[in-house]
Structure 1
């Protein structure tokens, strides 16, 4: 806008000098129409070139990744210590919150005992298989002996050498021996199935007990909340005595990460015709009036909320006219002169596509005027 005003003022001064100050030409209706026509088109040429070849936005904000610090505890637990304060810088691994460990240490000890018991039971399964095999051998021996006796008495009874009752007795014992062998075989199968029930080569009961120990250890570790990465703590309101657990939804605080900050600026869609990643960018941050920072285009976010229809049972409703959604461009600011890059800082962004080189100085003047104006505005003295 300032450039457009400057162009108009310069052209008006030029017309005034030619027609009124030095009277180089005589002003009339024809010259008036021509002058107005030329002035308008001159202004349009500059405006169109700047809008497409050097897009400009005053809707830029610094974005920093954040981590919501939410306790991951399965049951109500008392917060014992708060070791951080708001606006405190922390390093990855620093202890920030300590919760009561009593319940979780007890759960871990109980599950460790169950693991030892499961390991002992797993060793006894081999003994059970051996006992089943021994019982099978005994049952087979009894059946063999009964078979021999039945055969012997079957020969003696017709000859009068033995009584029929004795033969009947051994026939019954042979049937019992057959049943004993079948039972022994079933016991062997059961013992072998129990022994061979494994996951990744580990007995199933031991595997399950190990999983319970791992889960108990995980929740015990969660009683100590450590910084996941370098950053600064904001909105820290937690106090010792606070009870958290499986029903808590809100975070204790927010960690604003030091790594990977970027700037997000929105542009009218038609102004991004020639914008590509890697192009030069200049940024004027309101927090640093009078300074210009260098950067580059990282990505164009080709999407807006207007392009999304969320699954629902309602038929989409469209109402026109509707204001077009602006497209966001992700900017990487890598100027070594930048001392601070706080989250949420506002600023202006100018992108230089490499086209229309003759118009670049105007855009560079434009963004510098914006930066210098921040020395005065807003006028809240």
Structure 2
């Protein structure tokens, strides 16, 4: 074997060894990548399509009027109960005074109903006595009428025989006419006394409908007047608008001297301590994501040096495109499939937010550990 052949064999041998080493290295890298994916990377999903959000409290008045004072400005931190806006209370104070007067008048009116009830009961007793007296008078008038009629009949029979004079007959006729008139008057008196009794009983029944089964305090008229007074007091309290929670003032639109109406937006209070993150993951990333899994987050505001810890709190009811103003019409013939993103709500640690505050709408990077809490 020549020297050239020996050199070729040595070169081939070295080349084969290098190829074998390269193949072994590639195999080791593949094993390492597979091991990394199996043991670590497959348990994490991440996205940088994530943004901070919060349930903003909109400040609107419940009572309209002229703004007398504005206590806060944009970016100012406020505590729950702090005064934000004061509406001129003059009208509300007058309405409360009027409602108080109406309540007092209603109570006096109901007391008069109670007093009148006793008076009406006495009137019924009197009317019953009148009815009895009229009935007795009717019986007396009826007896007088029968007697006068009998006397007249007898004298008419004796007139032909001359036993009765014309003057005596005339007196008998006059007595009969008077008895008949008295009987008619007695009947009218009985009817009138009966009508008076019915009227008194109806008046007592009507008055009783206003007070039966109630006291002065529980009477509907008094309760309605008291409710109007309570509403007036509430309106007076609502002239002072307070912060419903801790946060930062944003979007202040109200100005001193402005006339505002109920429901008109004045400003917003952002509760920065209750910030959360909406992380928009691709649908293909969510097969192992469950509520309660830990999340590591970074804010572009602070960079990678600052980490936030959170947990998956919930999933949106649909993808962003499903709730867009003009949702995609996937049934059309020119449909193109696009991977959708589903917002995942991530709760942040309040202590970390206190140390490193965030604002609404900031960009975040979120990474979920799916190794636990799987079905």
Establish whether TM, by shorter chain, passes 0.5.
yes
Q: State the alpha-carbon separation in 2 of the partners of residues 200 and 306 from structure 1.
A: 62
Q: State the alpha-carbon separation in 1 of the partners of residues 234 and 191 from structure 2.
A: 58
Q: State the alpha-carbon separation in 1 of the partners of residues 288 and 19 from structure 2.
A: 44
Q: When the two structures are aligned, how many residues end up with a matched partner?
A: 323
Q: What do residues 234-268 of structure 1 show as CA deviations (whole Å, max 9, x unaligned)? A: 2224321111125x63x221101144322221111
Structure 1 residue aligned with 2:358, among 322, 332, 341? 341
C-alpha displacement of 1:293: 2.4
Match of 1:122 in 2: 110
For the 8 Å contact 2:296–2:308, the answer to whether it is kept is: yes
C-alpha displacement of 1:302: 4.2
For the 8 Å contact 1:94–1:226, the answer to whether it is kept is: yes
C-alpha displacement of 1:137: 0.9
Give 5+ residue unaligned stretches, structure 2. 1-11, 152-174
Q: What do residues 341-372 of structure 1 show as CA deviations (whole Å, max 9, x unaligned)? A: 322221111111117xxxxxxxxxxxxxxxxx
Alignment map for 1:28-177 (pairs within 5 Å): 53-74=43-64, 77-160=65-148, 163-177=179-193
Residue 287 of structure 2 corresponds to residue 297 of structure 1? no
Match of 1:240 in 2: 256
Q: What do residues 322-343 of structure 1 show as CA deviations (whole Å, max 9, x unaligned)? A: 5354112121222855421322
C-alpha displacement of 1:39: 9.3
C-alpha RMSD of matched pairs (Å):
3.5
Q: Which moved more, 1:199-208 or 1:175-184?
A: 199-208
TM-score (norm 2): 0.75
Q: What do residues 1-28 of structure 1 show as CA deviations (whole Å, max 9, x unaligned)? A: xxxxxxxxxxxxxxxxxx9x9763459x
C-alpha displacement of 1:196: 3.0
C-alpha displacement of 1:49: 8.9
Structure 1 residue aligned with 2:223, among 207, 226, 239? 207
Name the CA shift for 1:24/1:37 in 2 (closer, same or farther; >3 Å). Answer: closer
Structure 2 residue aligned with 1:284, among 298, 313, 318? 298
Structure 1 residue aligned with 2:370, among 322, 330, 353? 353
Match of 2:343 in 1: 328
- Answer with 1 or 2: which has the greater Rg: 2
- What is the DSSP-based 3-state SS (H/G/I as helix, E as strand, rest coil) of the residue aligned with 1:131? helix
Name the CA shift for 1:197/1:305 in 2 (closer, same or farther; >3 Å). Answer: farther
Name the CA shift for 1:270/1:135 in 2 (closer, same or farther; >3 Å). Answer: same
C-alpha displacement of 1:37: 12
Match of 1:229 in 2: 245
C-alpha displacement of 1:147: 0.6
Residue 234 of structure 2 corresponds to residue 218 of structure 1? yes
- What is the DSSP-based 3-state SS (H/G/I as helix, E as strand, rest coil) of the residue aligned with 1:158? helix
